[in-house]
Amino acid sequence: QVQLQESGPGLVKPSETLSLTCTVSGYSISSGYYWAWIRQPPGKGLEWIGSIHHSGSAYYNPSLRSRLTISVDTSKNQFALKLSSVTAADTAVYYCVRDLGGGNHDYWGQGTLVTVSS
Amino acid sequence: QSVLTQPRSVSGSPGQSVTISCTGTSSDVGGYNHVSWYQQHPGTAPKLIIYDVSRRPSGVPDRFSGSKSGNAASLTISGLRAEDEADYYCCSQADRSLVFGGGTKLTVL
């Protein structure tokens, strides 16, 4: 059974960098597919952040690209998200997911709430 | 503001059918056969219920069906059940990106 688990600080100060890691179990990232981050502000809808292949090839939401880095560590079976210069608008539940391509996200982490506040 | 347009809410009685629309453009919904739908109950992660416009993942009841015409996609839920009450989101491939709809709250009366 594929499982994903997000980890990282739940509180980040404005202008700082939000960093999250997703640990995958039950499936080797090196075996294929893309791995993605999706977020959901409290009480609002879903927003795709970006996806990365195990080879390191990534594609990002154009609205976040200038602040965003997604990386993969196949030795740890993890992938990570870094979002710089955060503001209150970046407060959201962040989900890591397996991305089969074409928007097909079949496995999701439970989500982690990140609040941007001083 | 979401890229794809969904009705904010729909409702139906048990046993009835409801359809949720998802309207985009030729740059997303109309340009790709990669439209997916997600069901989200409060406090939980979304669940994939339709992918590639009309395909169902294993374990999803055939009461859920998807279709597409032009720049609009639809999710139909037949034989409504109380447990279908949830938020539903559409998602479409776009040019090297993915876009979501704003979500539709389904109320089972």
What DSSP line would sit under B23-92, residue for residue?
Answer: E--TTTGGG-S-EEEEEE-TTS--EEEEBTTTB--TT--TTEEEEEETTEEEEEE-S--GGG-EEEEEEE
Choose the weakest-confidence range: A63-72, A83-92, B1-10, B28-37.
B1-10
Mean pLDDT of A65-91: 96
Q: How confident is the model at residue A102 (pLDDT cuts 50, 70, 90)?
A: confident
| More reliable by pLDDT, B9 or A32 | B9
Helix (H, G, I), strand (E, B) or coil at A106: strand
Q: What's residue A68's pLDDT?
A: 97
**Contacting residues of B for A101, CB less than 8 Å apart:** 34
Q: What's residue A88's pLDDT?
A: 97
CB–CB of B91 and A103 under 8 A? yes
B89 at A interface, C-beta within 8 A: yes
Around B16, how many Cα atoms within 13 Å sit in the side-chain half-sphere? 12
Q: What does the pLDDT profile of chain B (109 residues) look like in tens digits?
A: 568 999 999 999 999 999 999 999 999 999 999 999 999 999 999 999 999 999 999 999 999 999 999 999 999 999 999 999 999 999 999 988 999 999 999 999 9
Mutate: best of B97, B99, B105, partner A, most A CBs <10 A: B97
Mean pLDDT of A79-107: 96
Percent of chain A with pLDDT over 70: 100
A27 at B interface, C-beta within 8 A: no
CB–CB of B101 and A108 under 8 A? no
CB–CB of A102 and B46 under 8 A? no
